Amino acid sequence: MSPAHEHVERYPKLLDWLRYLCAFLLYMYGVSKLLHFQFNVTELASRPIGSLNGYQLTWFYFGYSRIYACILGLTQVTGATLLLFRKTTLLGAAVMLPVMANILLINIFILVNDYGPYVVSAIICCSLLKILWHQRALLLTLFWGNQTAEPTGSRRVHRTIRILIVLTVATIMVSASIARHYMKRKQMRGAVSSHVVASSVLSRTINCGRNDALRWDRWAGMAAEAA
């Protein structure tokens, strides 16, 4: 028996079932998006945004662009097709895991109390992780072992560039946060000033009304005495 044949025989049967399960589920979700069964926002388009729950907001957001929904559906169909064949299973799992992880996070944190979608997406993510874990040595070699670092002579330059990038982003973000805080305080002061002015005007109006009432009462009394 050849080594290649022995390697094929050692492929766990569990992984075959997992990749077929993922392919079936991905086909279902991908084709549903292409046929407009998912992200159909016809009924939601006329409703105010504030009246929509998390599930409806998610569908409205992703269904706003039909092209994006089709691209997402084609991505899932392509991943499912790759998972149908053992030779392309690793590629399919590597491509689809980030996509499904993002969908899982959306299902957990936005589709609250809707257990169906994130149970299915969790099953797909766990299955893809299991498939990738079986090839962990190959992936570690590909993404780490075979990668070269910067040349020794230019490491100081690359280190300086890395530090400058981090410091520049940090400076921009801190400056933006300070400016936003200043603008909020300025708006709050303006709102307080407007409230004080409005209260002062209202108080003067009330006092004028009271004085007018007192004058009217005095005049009425004087007219009654004269009569």
Distance of CA 218 to the CA centre of its chain: 70
Q: Which two tokens stand for residue 59?
A: 């569908």
pLDDT the model gives residue 226: 59
Q: Which two tokens stand for residue 186?
A: 């300025």
CB-side exposure of 12: number of CA atoms within 13 Å?
A: 11
Select the more confidently predicted residue: 44 or 26: 26
Measure the CA–CA gap between 59 and 42, rounded to whole angstroms.
11
Radius of gyration of the chain (CA): 34
pLDDT the model gives residue 221: 61
pLDDT (tens digit per residue) in 126-153:
999 999 999 999 999 988 988 888 888 8
The average confidence (pLDDT) of the chain is 83
Contact status, residue 38 vs residue 69, Cβ threshold 8 Å: yes
Contact status, residue 104 vs residue 117, Cβ threshold 8 Å: no
Which percentage of the chain shows pLDDT scores above 70?
78
pLDDT (tens digit per residue) in 55-100:
777 777 888 888 998 999 999 999 999 999 999 999 999 999 999 9
Alpha helices in the chain (DSSP H): 3-9, 13-34, 54-63, 66-83, 89-109, 115-134, 136-140, 155-226
Q: Is the pLDDT of residue 197 over 80?
A: no
